[in-house]
A and B are shown apart, each in its own frame.
Chain A
């Protein structure tokens, strides 16, 4: 974890929970029409003003809140860097942004223990950072360097690290859920109380894989939390063309998963609290949990996509509902931070990413002579040649 300098406290000493967040999400849900109404675009347009701050009811101490805020800032700095490098042709293939979704990744992962595992998706770069992936290793993967988790064999967020408890995603949406449950079920056989946290886009809940894997996990009482990240688009497809259920979390009913909440995914503290509760329940033996987090994909599907199909006013609305700005306002109101501390922190995070880039640029690209090495475990992966953890020991 990064050392974090706590700013001198000014203004109010304690935070009174405001109802803004709760009221907003309720109105948001009420305003959504059911069914495949043709006017779906405006259906998704919330009728209430975007909340400015957070609900603010949390068990996190001030230091922890600031640390979480820092992860979100770093997440954004990292994603901004990826976009920039993509435009300069230095990141190739696909580049995904989680702009505006930092809370759903960072705040949920913040609720985990060290031994817990994550199964991130393309928009969960924040979760990987929080779980311990160094920005430079992450960037090195995007920039296909030898010294990266896949050593140039897979791109973007498609990387994992078992030491950090991180299972690499594959493109086939939904597939990670079963790996996560299998992992923690195996841990349970060894008497360990590990919990898995994974995310799935609202669009991906339409796959058979999602259905089979969540049902299986529920039956096996796998200690796993699945966050449905409802950012309202799946590539160009809006939610009304994805599913007719009022809430994506309603799918939980079919699996016998009780009390699956739909929450304000841009309220970092609400994401944290809800995830923490679910993680605790899973760890206690209450089985698989589902949470739907409402958020918004503020960029195209990937960097190549200008997302002309998304109405401007919708993007503008969600720019006002930015999870980082809201967190900031909350911290300022609470007197936990001041403007200059925030500016300094942002500059620090940008610098951390700059430093990562400098390091990555000095790393070699993979040697073509290694292309066939390690298709089978009889040979080590070229990027992990001397990795005792992977090749000599068992995980447990």
Chain B
């Protein structure tokens, strides 16, 4: 089997699920005839028709609201936000309706919202955001964020088959990045939601991260490996629910923990993991927990500004050295 890109993996997963189950359908802006702003849904309309690939008006809240309605009927809608940032315009339906329906009055809401997310592409303040923390605080939602083609496919399938509203964060900088291309498992498989993956094994420190930061963290770890330090990198893959055991097992093994996020650091999800580790593995720690994230600013457009704002391999490496030197 040939190696495929991250974006191809998402498309393949979507197509296979639509073939497998005729209650799966897609809706969003420009996703049909045009194939989606990034091309994730390319050609789906030719294969499945406009009945199952809805080109919708420019209306995030209506897209999400209609997806909820269809899910109540028993369909499995997959709604696309053209950019994750625009979910701000559909926020209400996700947090007030989708997340609370099962808890309030019982029905399942099996739906997926796809969110092309993340920076590093000079998208500027409105096309680069990391908004997972907005939803991390909302009971009733599931949040997944694959970093590899294998998991991109495995998680889109798992998200579609899940009976809850799932936010699927797909990193748009990874879409066509040649170095993340890989062969994915043959046949039908899912990546179970709520399971982390060890992206790199190590014994001297643990990095807990997700999204594109997995790749940056592994790169930083490889640099240190040349000096004989072995850093373990945990790819969370799911943020809600997250894999507590995998995180704690690694920290207990290495005794040093660092959280890396692409999001602005204050109020990011990293604080939750720091709290977990200090609660459940405090006596194993040899150093204070370290956190790396973006600066507390909106995401600027100009490459020098954006680079100054976002975490990168170098910043992760520097923080790692501090953690190891403590």
Contact = CB atoms under 8 A, between A and B. Distances in A.
A binds B: yes
Contact of B73 (A154, A175, A183, A384): A183
B96 A387 contact: no
Interface stretch (A11-19, A155-163, A225-233, A308-316): A155-163
Given A158-B104, A209-B65, A376-B164, 15 more contacts: A153-B104, A153-B105, A154-B105, A170-B100, A178-B66, A179-B69, A180-B69, A182-B68, A186-B75, A187-B73, A189-B52, A220-B66, A376-B140, A376-B163, A390-B106
B23 to A, nearest CB: 8
B65 A179 contact: yes
A226 to B, nearest CB: 13
A391 B75 CA distance: 14
A294 interface: no
List the 6 shortest-distance A-B pairs measured between CB atoms, nearest first.
Answer: A182-B69, A178-B65, A182-B66, A216-B62, A186-B73, A186-B70
Contacts of A391: 108
B51 A189 contact: yes
B59 A215 contact: yes
A185 B74 contact: no
A216 B65 CA distance: 10
Contacts of A182: 65-73, 77
B41 interface: no
A168 B101 CA distance: 8
Contacts of A177: 65
Given A162-B72, A209-B92, A387 B106 contact: yes
Contact of A189 (B25, B101, B103, B104): B25
Interface in A162-182: 162, 167-168, 170-172, 175, 177-182
A171 to B, nearest CB: 8
A178 B93 contact: yes
A185 B139 CA distance: 28
Interface string B191-207: 00000000000000000
B69 A175 contact: no
B307 interface: no
A112 B98 CA distance: 26
B54 interface: yes
Interface in A361-388: 374-378, 380-381, 383-384, 387
A212 B29 CA distance: 14
Contacts, number: 147
B216 to A, nearest CB: 32
Contact of B105 (A172, A187, A381): A381
B318 interface: no
B107 A390 contact: yes
B228 interface: no
A384 B106 contact: yes
Contacts of B75: 186, 189
Contacts of A185: 66, 69-70
Nearest to A390: B106
A394 interface: yes
Interface residues of B, number: 44
Interface in B56-88: 56-57, 59, 61-75, 77
B173 interface: no
A66 B310 CA distance: 69
B89 to A, nearest CB: 8
Nearest to B60: A212
B31 to A, nearest CB: 14
Nearest to B95: A172
B102 interface: yes
A390 B92 contact: no
B97 interface: yes
Interface of A: 149-150, 153-154, 158-162, 167-168, 170-172, 175, 177-187, 189, 208-209, 212-213, 215-217, 219-220, 374-378, 380-381, 383-384, 387, 390-391, 394-396
Contacts of B104: 150, 153-154, 158-159, 168
Contacts of B52: 189
25 contacts: A159-B105, A167-B69, A171-B96, A175-B93, A175-B96, A178-B61, A178-B93, A179-B72, A182-B66, A182-B68, A182-B77, A186-B70, A212-B59, A216-B62, A216-B66, A374-B103, A376-B164, A377-B110, A377-B164, A378-B163, A381-B102, A381-B103, A381-B105, A390-B106, A391-B108
A235 B105 CA distance: 27
Contacts of A217: 62
A175 B70 contact: no
Given A178-B93, A186-B73, A395-B74, A377 B105 contact: no
Contacts of A189: 25, 51-52, 75
A153 B140 CA distance: 14
A180 B66 CA distance: 8
Given A172-B96, A175-B93, A183-B72, A160 B105 contact: yes
A216 to B, nearest CB: 4
Contacts of A383: 106
Given A178-B66, A182-B70, A182-B73, A208 B61 contact: yes
Contact of B102 (A149, A376, A387): A376
Contacts of B163: 376-378
Nearest to B22: A189
A280 to B, nearest CB: 22
Contacts of A187: 73
A383 B72 CA distance: 18
A396 B76 CA distance: 13
A166 B63 CA distance: 21
A265 to B, nearest CB: 26
Contacts of A220: 54, 56, 66
